[in-house]
Chain A
């Protein structure tokens, strides 16, 4: 775009000329520039410089024979326009910079309104000015410069001035610079007058030319084009873009008609002229369209332009001119698109309005055009090269034709001849012209342009995420660099393309790129790269057989055609290069490499390497676990996609345990001296009769290996030696996790399994686990029996060496809840607090005498609730060590105890592996004693407890006790374990002070052992009786808790007692309104009467009515009332007294009394036990004696 003249590239700006008052020019020019649209100004100090304006015009008009016939007079002027042209080169420039639309003449006011002589001078100046500008229709403005606003103005003179200047009053302006406000006013007045007049000028000029078109004054297409162009330019001056576009298009179409019809110039030059003008017109049209935001129209226009001139090739000998022209079209359009990219809107309207030519996404990106510009320039370059190589004359052309220059017409060239002082332009023949263009073309370095455009295109496509387009650009770019013998740059871009093709498996394209890359590395002297690239090429899935020898290699890259024979020939070339003997290689200079004779070549192939098809190593262990020292089979399978068989000298299989590495030797090959040196650590060498990799066939090798070291044994890599100096190291892969080869996976060929065993082929792993050696140490857990809640359960742990010494032993102890749910209850508020653990490890006591050594050596001893870590001192063979683990249960719960011992059997070497022994034991935690309690009221003394009749809703289970009455509490403890326990003491402790004041509990004397000490066999129950006297009326009386102290029977008596607490339930204490007591002798004697009394005691302040009914009994004769209602006075007692005579012996039921309290509607019957008595046949003697003795 830069090669176009400035005036063509920018929109035209109106031009005015200022005369006189040069000190005002600066401010006026500045103001005009700032106008929208701006106006350019030519400034002349005074009217005497009027000739300058004329002079320009003269000079210009001299060359233009057609327009101003008056000025064609100078015979000395060269006349190259003998045959004419379409557009003149400087016409636009002239209108942009020389021919003003209007002239502004500045006169001081005192010249006009003052002295008559000065007025006359003004008049003559005006006349001369008018004589110059009238023929050209240039407008005139007269500006009267006032020195102060108060200046006197003579109306007559003003009218005279207008008349003289033939001006409308609005074009005679006053200018006053003395006051700022006036100045700005004057300036804006001037600017608007100028804009108006300039517009009028350009409109009139345009109309004038347009009338010529309409008149069809000449049938010549040349003139038509020219007129259209001018009208369009004038329209542009007026910023009438629509008209400008229309006339540019008219000019363009007329021009297109001239192809083939014009005969004015020699054929080649004629076409060149037309194309050059078409290019300019196209440029103008595209610019206007793009500036108007009509992107789709612009692109469509470009396509039409391209389509209409694509076939206008001209002379096929000089086709490079056409390619150059085409290239320029694309480049210019690309640049235009790029600069106007701000206006590029979304392509939403795409493919809709444009029915006949549907546009695609990429046609809106400059990158597309840059790429094609580069493509055409490449065509030009090759056409030019062909031309130069074909014709002798063309090659000899140098810059002899210097004197040829562009002529005055656009797109024409002429020879500049020196005739004495003057230079004349002569038209030239086609031969001269082609000579000139060839010499010009030779001077240019097209490659740099091509590279620059392709780079732009590449970057732009990369930004658009069009990776494949970018890759193509990179490829073209690299080819250009390659052509320039710049292999490092070429390599960079070839690599970009190669990566994409590799990824997407475009084999033919990849082959091509790799062919170039191979040459690049050859030129760079990178031997390793060369071999790698060659091998990659060779291993590509190229399966085409057709050997296109007849087509020649012209169209192929340096890699040759992608065929099987091509692969084979490269294969042979590479393997001769790498496989030969050291001495031979140094002499193979034709490959282009100079190498030190003993430099080894080592290729690494990992999982992402493109060289994976060259050597694919699949390794599978037959066992998932092996014993240390036992042998295990391992299968190494190798696959190569090279087209020809390859013989391997030896194969080294490497493991993570380097002791296991082994070598497979091809016994047909001599043992290389160097090879044995490089493998010092290998203990295992296998021999194979032949190691040949046949294309696409797995080479399967199975061997046995042993490992002494426990842990993971993994095969890392397989290293194949293919000659004295060439090794390929391929990463080992598991058959189970083997990925397909990216370029081969889409090939439709038969796939075989790496291992014959189908299970291994699917699940085989390249790693196996070597087990630990058998531990020769015994860990025994000494106790098993159920643990009792509350006690410190001791678990002796004994470590006994049976063949292994123990070094840096560590004992890990873990308690795990068997039932699940953890060792603490989720209901506890703080789950990790000490109490929350139902089972915890309390301590670990080392064996006696070991404590000091432990502290000395600073060994670890960590204990947490469920985890413990103890270090075991070093033990020699046969020694043993023990410790005691104390575990406490807070709840009855079974737990699993895990004990694991880790030790080093052979001293504390750094890399030695620990041996582990695991032991586990489930331990049951049990409640030792079941504690229960029972309340008993005094015998034959019954209280009316209202709570029993009508229980409160929330006190269903609580037992009620009468207030201030002695009740009996029986506490029993039952041994529910399977071992005998020794009960040391049992006591009740009240909770707090309040409890002590509210009731008194006493151990009842005379029943059982005072100390409470007793031994309990399994299942046996121990009971103890307490008396309770509640002294406070409360619905909830805390009775404290039972404290039991016990230990295991027969155990160590020094052992601390375990204390178990059992909380007694709360009781309800209430005052009873009525108390009924039965009075009866302890026994009766047959036939002897006794008194049976029922006492009803009213403890309230109210009168109580009580009904009673007495039933007869068979065994007794009874006297007294059977039924009645009695009233018991407050706080008094009523006694119902009966006389009974027993009639039969034995345990007899007394007459049953039923008492009903009317007030509480409660009926009471004494229990059967309470209302029975034993009747002796006669008075018991012994008892009597005993009782008398007492």
Chain B
């Protein structure tokens, strides 16, 4: 189950962060999302050291923590998407397709002429489409 998705801006500031859990652990998920930015930084800045090739937007598994797995995605405008899931056995292709849909929803949201780039995304339509995407994905 996807428990949290986030859009993070250029200055590593959260543009949109939403958790999908019943339990009140939003704060913990915020911490996890925030920490995963370190991994993204490391991957983007030292692509050689971490052995990843950055010729695609999908960054793969960022890091496993306690009961969660964190996946990352970097758009070509350097906006980061982060997804936290509780599923332990996840196929990369599923995550990729999730991020593709998420990216499409994001593009729709920021294409709104009333949206100011760099500001938080407060669009209700975006929130709805994100929760629909999240609900449609259970990885195992």
Q: Which of these, A346, A368, A468, contacts B34 with CB under 8 Å?
A: A468
Which of the segments B36-44, B98-106, B130-138 contacts the partner chain?
Answer: B36-44
Point out the residue from B12, B31, B50, B62 that lies within 8 Å of A350, measured CB to CB.
Answer: B50
Compute how far the CA of A180 lies from the CA of B39 in the bound complex, rounded to whole angstroms.
63
B84 to chain A, nearest CB (A): 14
Contact of B51 among A347, A368, A468, A551 (CB under 8 A): A347
User: What is the minimal beta-carbon distance from B87 to any residue of chain A, in angstroms?
Assistant: 14
Q: How far is the CA of A471 from the CA of B62 in the complex (A)?
A: 18
Digitize A515-556: 1 where CB-to-B-CB distance is under 8 Å, 0 elsewhere: 000000000000000000000000000000000100100011
A469 in contact with B38 (CB, 8 Å): yes
Choice from A363, A475, A505, A509 contacting B64 with Cβ under 8 Å: A363
Q: Are A375 and B66 in contact (CB under 8 A)?
A: yes
A555 to B30, CA, bound (A): 14
A746 part of interface (Cβ distance < 8 Å): yes
Q: Does A337 contact B (CB under 8 A)?
A: no
A851 at interface, CB cutoff 8 A: no
Q: Which of B11-36 contact A (CB under 8 A)?
A: 11-15, 24-27, 30-31, 34-35
- Complex Cα distance, B25 from A288, in Å, reads 39
- Note all chain B residues with C-beta closer than 8 A to A361: 39, 42-43, 50, 63
Contact mask for chain A residues 738-779; partner B; CB cutoff 8 A; 1 contact, 0 none: 000000011110000000000000000000000000000000
Residues of A contacting B: mostly = helix
Nearest CB to that of B8 among chain A residues? Answer: A504
Judged by a CB distance under 8 angstroms, whether A348 is at the interface is yes
The CA of A504 and the CA of B10, in the complex, are separated in Å by 10
Check: B122 CB closer than 8 A to any chain A CB: yes
> Which residues 548-601 of A have a CB within 8 angstroms of B?
548, 551, 555-556
**Chain A 446-480: CB-based contact to B (< 8 A → 1; otherwise 0):** 00000000000000010000111101100100000
Which among A350, A372, A472, A507 is the interface contact of B35 at CB below 8 angstroms? A472
B-contact bits for A373-410, CB 8 A (1 contact / 0 none) = 00100000000000000000000000000000000000
Contact of A506 with B60 in the complex, beta carbons under 8 Å:
no
Query: Is the pair A508, B30 in contact by a Cβ cutoff of 8 Å?
Result: yes
A349 interface residue per 8 A CB criterion: yes
* Bound Cα distance from A747 to B116, whole angstroms: 10
Whether the Cβ atoms of A505 and B11 lie closer than 8 Å is yes
Chain B: CB-nearest residue to A557: B27
The answer to whether A746 and B120 have CB atoms under 8 Å apart is: yes
Q: How far is the CA of A506 from the CA of B98 in the complex (A)?
A: 25
Q: Is A154 an interface residue (CB 8 A)?
A: no
Say whether B121 faces chain A, with CB atoms less than 8 Å apart.
yes
Measured CB to CB, the nearest residue on chain A to B121 is: A748
Interface size class of A (residues with CB under 8 A): 35 or more
Q: Which of B27, B62, B65, B122 contacts A508 (CB 8 A)?
A: B27
Find chain B residues with CB under 8 A from A504 CB.
Answer: 11-13, 34
A121: shortest Cβ distance to chain B, in Å? 70
* Chain A positions within 8 Å of B41 at CB level: 466
Q: Within the assembled complex, what's the spacing in Å between the Cα atoms of A508 and B24?
A: 13
Instruction: Determine the chain B residues whose CB is within 8 A of the CB of A506 once the complex forms.
Output: 13-14, 30, 34
Partner of B119 from the list A509, A551, A747 (CB cut-off 8 Å) is A747
CA distance A153 to B36 in the complex (A): 79
The total of Cβ contacts below 8 Å across the A-B interface reads 94
Give the complex CA separation of A809 and B94 in angstroms.
85
Chain B residues whose C-beta falls within 8 Å of the C-beta of A475 in the assembled complex = 31
Verify B38–A468 contact, CB threshold 8 A.
yes
Cβ-based interface call for A358 (8 A): yes
- Tell me, yes or no, whether A36 is within 8 Å of chain B by CB: no
Query: Does B79 have its Cβ within 8 Å of any Cβ on chain A?
Result: no
Known: A468-B37, A504-B11, A746-B13. A347 touches B49 (CB 8 A): yes
Interface size on B, residues (CB 8 A): 39
Chain B residues near A348 (CB, 8 Å)? 48-49, 51
Check: B57 CB closer than 8 A to any chain A CB: no
- Taking a contact as CB atoms under 8 Å apart, the answer to whether B52 and A472 are in contact is no
In the assembly, what is the distance between CA of A461 and CA of B38, in Å?
10
B81 to chain A, nearest CB (A): 16
- Which residues of chain B come closer than 8 Å to A471, judged between CB atoms? 34
B50 touches A347 (CB 8 A): yes
A148 at the binding interface (Cβ < 8 Å) = no
A349 touches B51 (CB 8 A): yes
Give the chain B neighbours of A358 by CB distance below 8 A: 60-61
What residues on A are CB-neighbors of B13 within 8 Å?
A: 504-506, 746
> Does chain B have a CB within 8 A of A930?
no
A360 near B: Cβ within 8 Å?
yes
A475 to B35, CA, bound (A): 12
Partner of B31 from A351, A467, A472 at Cβ < 8 Å = A472
Q: Is A363 touching B49 in the complex (CB atoms < 8 A)?
A: no
Binary CB contact string for chain A from 282 to 312 against chain B (1 if under 8 A, 0 otherwise): 0000000000000000000000000000000
Interface residues of B in 47-100 (CB under 8 A from A): 48-52, 60-66
User: Whole-angstrom distance between the alpha carbons of A461 and B34 in the complex?
Assistant: 14
Cα separation A349 to B118 with both chains bound (whole Å):
37
The one of B15, B24, B48, B66 in contact with A746, judged by C-beta atoms closer than 8 angstroms, is: B15
* A350 CA / B52 CA spacing, docked (Å): 8
CB distance from B113 to the nearest CB of A (A): 14
> Is A273 part of the binding interface, using a Cβ–Cβ cutoff of 8 Å?
no
A505 to B14, CA, bound (A): 7
Report chain A residues within 8 Å CB of B43.
Answer: 361
Known: A360-B64, A746-B13. A466 touches B34 (CB 8 A): no
CB pair A351–B52 under 8 Å, yes or no, is: yes
A548 contacts which of B14, B24, B39, B119 (Cβ < 8 Å)? Answer: B24
A360 to B12, CA, bound (A): 20
* 8 A-B pairs whose Cβ atoms sit less than 8 Å apart in the complex: A361-B50, A362-B38, A468-B34, A469-B38, A471-B34, A475-B31, A746-B120, A748-B119
Contacts A508-B26, A509-B34 supplied; 9 other A-B pairs, CB < 8 Å:
A347-B50, A348-B49, A362-B38, A372-B66, A504-B13, A507-B14, A746-B15, A746-B120, A748-B119
Give the 10 A-B CB pairs with smallest separation, nearest first.
Answer: A505-B13, A466-B38, A748-B119, A360-B63, A350-B51, A504-B12, A468-B38, A748-B122, A551-B24, A748-B120
Identify the A interface with B (CB < 8 A).
346-352, 358, 360-363, 368, 372, 375, 461, 466-469, 471-472, 475, 501, 504-509, 512, 548, 551, 555-556, 745-748
Interface residues of B (CB under 8 A from A): 9, 11-15, 24-27, 30-31, 34-35, 37-39, 41-43, 48-52, 60-66, 115-116, 118-122
